[in-house]
Amino acid sequence: MKKILLFTALLFAFVVSAQGVKPITYTEVVSVSDSTKSAKQLYASAKMWFTQLFKDPREVIILDDAENNILVGRGNIPYKSKIFLGSATREGRIYFDVTIACKDGRYKYDFTNFMHEGDGVNLGLITDEEFLSTMKGAFAGGPKNYKIKVTNELRDLIASRVLPSITSLKTEMDKKIITKEDW
């Protein structure tokens, strides 16, 4: 009985402490300059954006819901650390999900679930913590400023790839749709 109470108390403490941690997310609802654009037209523009951004959109798009005008893709960013100590084990990829949902005259994008998978060490979900909680313990010990530096390097890499992608998405979504009468 004491073990069950101790386990419950530890679990509760873990859940309470984790509530303040938020995953890195880029999201926005954007109204297009031509408010007469239909959800179907915006959906077509979003599909065009996927084909321009990713080498093979068929491998990236995991949900293509034409009826509800929603696209979900799973991309990745190569990660090669510039911080020498332990860099070989951290090298790998940062995987993420991108969702675009369209309605008449507007759309919403979400870049979420940024997960680091390294060759030797997986740092997991990238959050807003001072340094990632997975960097605790023997495998990722070291000084606090080292952990902060590695965490910030991951966040900076994500921002350097996602922010230009958002800009290109906004540009594509605002383009005039070429119809069969326009060419």
| Domains of the chain in sequence order | 22-174 (3.30.530.80)
Task: Return d(Cα 127, Cα 139) in angstroms, integer.
Answer: 19
Beta pairing, strands 124-125 & 70-79? unpaired
Mean pLDDT for 52-63 is: 88
pLDDT at 138 over 60: no
pLDDT at 96 over 90: yes
- Of the listed ranges 8-12, 59-63, 148-152, 155-159, the one predicted with least confidence: 8-12
29 or 9: which leads in pLDDT: 29
> Number of helices and strands (H, E) in the chain?
5, 6
Q: In the prediction, which pLDDT does 120 show? A: 86
Mean pLDDT for 44-52 is: 93
* Number of other CB atoms surrounding residue 124 within 10 Å: 14
2 or 163: which leads in pLDDT: 163
- Angle at which helices 39-53 and 144-174 pack, to 10 degrees? 130
Using CA atoms, how far residue 44 sits from 41, 121, 175, in Å, is: 5, 39, 11
Chain centre to alpha carbon of residue 36: 30
Using CA atoms, how far residue 128 sits from 47, 53, 89, 156, 158, in Å, is: 30, 26, 22, 12, 13
Tens of pLDDT, residue by residue over 112-131, are: 999 999 998 899 999 999 98
Helix, strand, or coil here: 29? strand
pLDDT at 9 over 70: no
